[in-house]
């Protein structure tokens, strides 16, 4: 949460001291991340052998990771989780979405495997966020034999699917909680299994640049086959952190632990030399990853194409992931605006139109920002706004800016975290 105590009178020495302190904190976190990286490299060989063992455990498709952005960042996404894929990586992160988002991914893998992911997240009246996701793995062309023969007698397929219903809610200005209800379905030749499970996550944001996340995945998830056999999906614990060390420079680190297996480590970074062109690199369990994206603004909406690259763990061949993300802005008329009544003169309509054209709009650049009743931190907090939301600028006083909220009320925010919108 961005809260600027005592910054109403912005003196240069105080500003410089605070920037120095913040930079020192970022360097410290980066140093700890580098230590984690060295430990990752030291255990790389052992973890690679362990990861091969986990390929045979039930529900392996639930641990493959989703989305091209997280894939390019080495699956270090538990402490980031700020887009539509958060329902999978950490449902608590859904609460920080400022507008509805939808993501689509389709990946063709070796051995006739197809991996799919579809997700959507919708904030509901700034109270909570609802998400729906589908993760699916399809394998076709499996050879079937009734005896010890070289020639297959028939071919069959395997389809594994998980449907996630996500809810996220903030508890105060720094903490949010989230959870998933997970329905799983597995079909293998003539047999089928269904099951139920849960995920639980939390997100702690120390500032608009530093966050920590935790996720317990597959709580009680199991498959109950029609043949009477039941198999449980191993539970996974994920811990992660992310630091935006400079504007447009994000680093992240995760550690994941599957029940009965040794921990795996993940590192990732995202660099945005331009706002519409993110570049990514990562390290995931003895494997380098990378990727990039391209964001295309469409009026109040955004269309982003993301690409991720790594190697397939079975054949050691190249894997290319492409996903499409839609971020939908709101175009509904604010409550304080009213349409022109019948009989309004053209002159009045023209003046009103000119006033609307002259309105200065600003966008929030901080992840979360306090709105106060007056120009200073001594005034009462009346609302919170999130990154990407746009408001009309009404005035200024020192470093503080007066904006009009969507419910018609007015409030004050610090100008450092606003950007002008054409």
Structure-block tokens of residue 53: 């063992």
The pTM (predicted TM-score) of the whole model is 0.68
Exposure class string for 240-271: b at 16+ Cβ within 10 A, else e: bbbbbbeeeebbbbbbbebeebebbbbbbbbe
Full DSSP string of 308-319 = EEEE-TTT--EE
Residue % of the chain over a pLDDT of 70:
79
**pLDDT single digits (tens) 252-278:** 999 999 998 899 999 999 998 888 899
Which pLDDT value is given to residue 207? 84
Give all domains of the chain, ordered by start, each with its CATH number: 43-328 (2.40.160.60), 335-421 (2.30.30.40)
Which pLDDT value is given to residue 72? 95
pLDDT averaged over every residue in the chain: 81
Count Cβ atoms within 10 A of the Cβ of residue 413 and give its class: 0-12 exposed, 13-18 middle, 19 or more buried. Answer: buried
Please give the Cα distance from 157 to 136 (Å, whole number).
Answer: 13
**pLDDT single digits (tens) 162-171:** 999 999 998 8
**pLDDT single digits (tens) 373-386:** 888 888 888 888 98
Which pLDDT value is given to residue 185? 95
Which pLDDT value is given to residue 189? 87
Collapsed DSSP state (helix, strand, coil) of residue 359: coil
Is the pLDDT score of 338 beyond 60? no
Q: How far is the CA of 63 from the CAs of 194, 235, 249, 282, in angstroms?
A: 18, 10, 27, 17
Is the pLDDT score of 352 beyond 60? no
What's the pLDDT band for 358 if we cut at 50, 70, 90? low
**pLDDT single digits (tens) 237-246:** 999 999 998 8
Residue 230 · residue 266 · CB < 8 Å: no
Please give the Cα distance from 331 to 301 (Å, whole number).
Answer: 10
């Amino acid at each position: 949460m961005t809260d600027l105590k005592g910054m109403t009178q912005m003196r240069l020495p105080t500003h410089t001291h605070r920037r120095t302190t913040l930079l020192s904190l970022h360097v410290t976190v980066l140093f700890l991340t580098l230590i984690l990286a060295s430990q990752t490299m030291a255990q790389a060989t052992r973890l690679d052998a362990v990861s091969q063992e986990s390929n045979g455990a039930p529900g392996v498709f639930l641990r493959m990771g989703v989305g091209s952005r997280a894939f390019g960042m080495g699956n270090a996404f538990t402490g980031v989780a700020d887009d539509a894929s958060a329902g999978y990586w950490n449902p608590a992160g859904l609460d920080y979405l400022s507008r509805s988002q939808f993501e689509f991914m389709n990946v063709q893998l070796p051995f006739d495997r197809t991996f799919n992911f579809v997700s959507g997240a919708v904030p509901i009246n700034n109270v909570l966020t609802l998400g729906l996701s589908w993760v699916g793995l399809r394998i076709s062309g499996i050879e079937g034999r009734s005896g010890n023969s070289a020639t297959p007698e028939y071919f069959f397929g395997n389809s594994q699917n998980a449907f996630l219903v996500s809810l996220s809610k903030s508890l105060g200005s720094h903490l949010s909680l989230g959870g998933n209800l997970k329905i799983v379905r597995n079909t293998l030749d003539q047999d089928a299994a269904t099951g139920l499970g849960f995920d639980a996550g939390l997100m702690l944001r120390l500032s608009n640049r530093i966050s920590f996340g935790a996720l317990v995945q597959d709580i009680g998830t199991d498959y109950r086959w029609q043949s009477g056999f039941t198999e449980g999906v191993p539970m996974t614990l994920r811990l992660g952190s992310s630091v935006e060390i400079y504007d447009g420079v994000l680093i992240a680190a995760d550690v994941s632990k599957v029940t009965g297996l040794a921990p795996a480590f993940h590192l990732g970074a995202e660099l945005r030399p331009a706002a519409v062109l993110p570049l990514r690199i990562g390290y995931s369990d003895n494997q380098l990853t990378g990727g990039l994206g391209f964001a295309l603004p469409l009026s109040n909406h955004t269309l982003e194409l993301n690409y991720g690259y790594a190697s397939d763990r079975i054949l050691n061949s190249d894997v290319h992931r492409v996903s499409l993300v839609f971020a939908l802005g709101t175009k509904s008329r604010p409550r304080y605006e009213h349409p022109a009544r019948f009989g309004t003169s053209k002159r009045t309509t023209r003046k009103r139109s000119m006033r609307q054209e002259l309105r200065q709009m600003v966008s929030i650049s901080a992840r979360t920002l306090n709105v106060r009743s007056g120009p200073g931190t001594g005034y009462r907090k009346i609302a919170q706004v999130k990154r990407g939301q746009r408001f009309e600028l009404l005035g200024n006083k020192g470093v503080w800016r007066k904006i009009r909220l969507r419910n018609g009320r007015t409030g004050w925010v610090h100008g450092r975290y606003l950007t002008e919108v054409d």
